[in-house]
Structure 1
Amino acid sequence: LQKQGIELIFFDRVLPNFEASKVVVDDYNGAYTATEFLIKKGYKRIAHIGGSKEFIISKKRFKGYTDALKKHKIPVDETLIYFGGFQEKNGVDGMQYLLGAVNKPDAVVAVNDPVALGAYEVIKSRGLKIPKDIAVVGFSNNPISAIVDPPLTTIEQPAYEMGRVEEKR
């Protein structure tokens, strides 16, 4: 396509060694901010439900999560980490795993909003209250995040605006 003069713009997915315009979310800082937000609210046993391990997005968000814990002298507890995928079902599976742990989490940083909503489903089915018993933070600000009860705290991923900015360049 580039040889034909058609400009390519990658959104939030980048191919290594391929020159093209790209618009990407700061996955590392988003996850770092989400984790630090929970720490500042007083949560100590903060879990992570990540996406598929092989994806860069999962790696960057996991690194942001672990770096925030380390900065605040909170040990990274492997029993509070679950990698699955990016769908609501993966949030269900991850939350079931985490609630089966001996030392259950008091908060969760999810790789995205669908995963966070899957976690919500399990938390509520166990009679637990969000955020009193377990807080949850998502990533992407999916429109449904505002209408679930309680509304999901989420990191904004302004896809439309990011695309508009790149188009104008």
Structure 2
Amino acid sequence: MRGKAVLAALGAVATLSAQTASAQACGADSGTAELVRSGKLIEFETLMMAVSLRCARAGVDLRPVYEGMLSVNAARFNGAHEAVQRLFGTTRGTGYDRYVTQVANRYGGGATDPQKCAMFRAVAATLANPASDPRALPAVADAMIAAPVLRDMLCPAGR
């Protein structure tokens, strides 16, 4: 039940988040929209890794549920990385590496507290449940990653 409440709350946040008209127009292309969804999954995974590390420093260990979330959703996270790697090409040190570095820099800093850690633990625990709704991961990523780096790269303002 708690998982449904978390999913519903995050879905409401996603529904309320606004996008610019130019980003919406650019994202209307199905290929671009799929890449943006992949980017959101990558950024969500990175966000959760950073939160897990920050919460550990705050005395709250999220690693078991974070690792469970990664395990249960490995195919989706790996598929997202593969799609974005295809976009940038496979040459090391080029676009994909720069992209991943931008994402890591976006989520690598920040402060946290035990209450925020508890919220992130609940999200990760919901997504770590193998019986969770398959729509949960993309809904959570949509709610938590309102302006993904990849969308900004693919759909620059005014495009």
TM-score, with structure 1 as normaliser: 0.26
TM-score, with structure 2 as normaliser: 0.28
- 1 or 2, which has the higher strand percentage? 1
